[in-house]
Amino acid sequence: MQTLLSSQQIASMLDHALLHPTLTDDEVDAQIRSLTGHPLASFCVKPCHVRHCADLLRGSAIRVGTVVGFPHGVTTTATKTSEAHTAFADGAHEVDMVINTGKALGGLWEDVADDITAVLAVVREYNGLLKVIFETDFLPEDTTKIRLCALCSELGVDYVKTSTGFGFVKQTDGRSAYVGATDHDIRLMRRHCRPSIGVKPSGGVKTLDDVLRFYKLGATRFGTTSSHAILAAARERFDEEMPDDSAAPHGDRQLEY
């Protein structure tokens, strides 16, 4: 794995996430406009914002991404395929779908495979990309994650992804906690997926050091709400001149997950 040398290389692997349910239309608009000067991989927006995002990015190389079955993955396969059709019709280039975790934990692998296969067929119809979200916080056993890696490799999806950012787990004290992407899971996913399949950490990717660490472990896309801070740190570390529009928009709530 080569060493990253510029903020542009880092930007080209960032999926800037705008998925928090409380984000307003104006906030989404401001976030997109503030980052379009950077060569991001994509903006990953809520389904209701896909068409507007596509309009804003018309003529740009930045891709439009959205989510399917988000965040719990428990909608029917028919609903997921309908969501995917709508997303691409509205201008999306890629979708991040959530697996049905209960089916995976229950060992109903044919159901899990059918669910992914159906969405993948829609994605391929539109020449798009599919990222499959495992929601690793819900999967305590590595054997389940390894089986998912094998399944995704067999089906030929484009990326496997750790988390939604919303997979909170109830603890023994009654509180909910969330971990998100970990070094262990990125190593595991990279080791057990075919080389042609990318690995995307998401959930807790907040700093340049997070990006560089996961990159060295084999990740090539990064889901984050912290693109402004990551790119500013990259420019400072790599001694690059900061552009005038590099700061987060004024009043940005920076909803991290």
What is the length of the chain?
257
Rounded CA gap, 183 and 167, in Å? Answer: 17
The answer to whether position 252 is within a domain reads no
The answer to whether position 242 is within a domain reads no
96 catalytic residue (yes or no): yes
Exposed, middle or buried: residue 110 (CB in 10 Å: 0-12, 13-18, 19+)? exposed
User: In the prediction, which pLDDT does 45 show?
Assistant: 98
Q: Tell me: pLDDT of 171 over 90.
A: no
Rounded CA gap, 46 and 51, in Å? Answer: 10
User: In the prediction, which pLDDT does 113 show?
Assistant: 98
User: In the prediction, which pLDDT does 250 show?
Assistant: 46
pTM score: 0.91
Q: Tell me: pLDDT of 172 over 90.
A: no
User: In the prediction, which pLDDT does 256 show?
Assistant: 54
Mean pLDDT confidence for 53-62: 97
pLDDT digits (tens, 9 = 90+) for 75-95: 999 999 999 999 999 999 999
| Catalytic member of 90, 137, 200, 210 | 200
170 catalytic residue (yes or no): no
| Catalytic member of 15, 80, 90, 96 | 96
Give whole-number Cα distances, 72 to 67, 89, 140, 149, 234, in Å.
Answer: 11, 23, 16, 19, 33
User: In the prediction, which pLDDT does 2 show?
Assistant: 56
Residue of 196, 183, 12, 167 lying closest to 98 (CA atoms): 167
| Catalytic member of 137, 161, 185, 210 | 161
Reported as type and span, the H/E element at residue 67 is strand 63-68
**Ordered DSSP codes for 131-164:** EEE--GGG---HHHHHHHHHHHHHHT-SEEE---
The answer to whether position 253 is within a domain reads no
The answer to whether position 1 is within a domain reads no
For residue 46, give its domain range.
Answer: 7-237
The answer to whether position 122 is within a domain reads yes
103 catalytic residue (yes or no): no
CATH of the domain at 122: 3.20.20.70
The answer to whether position 188 is within a domain reads yes
The answer to whether position 37 is within a domain reads yes
The answer to whether position 246 is within a domain reads no
Q: Which residues contact 61 (CB under 8 A, 6 or more apart)?
A: 39
Looking at the structure of the chain, the number of domains it has is 1
Q: Which residues pair with 160 in a beta bridge?
A: 132, 199
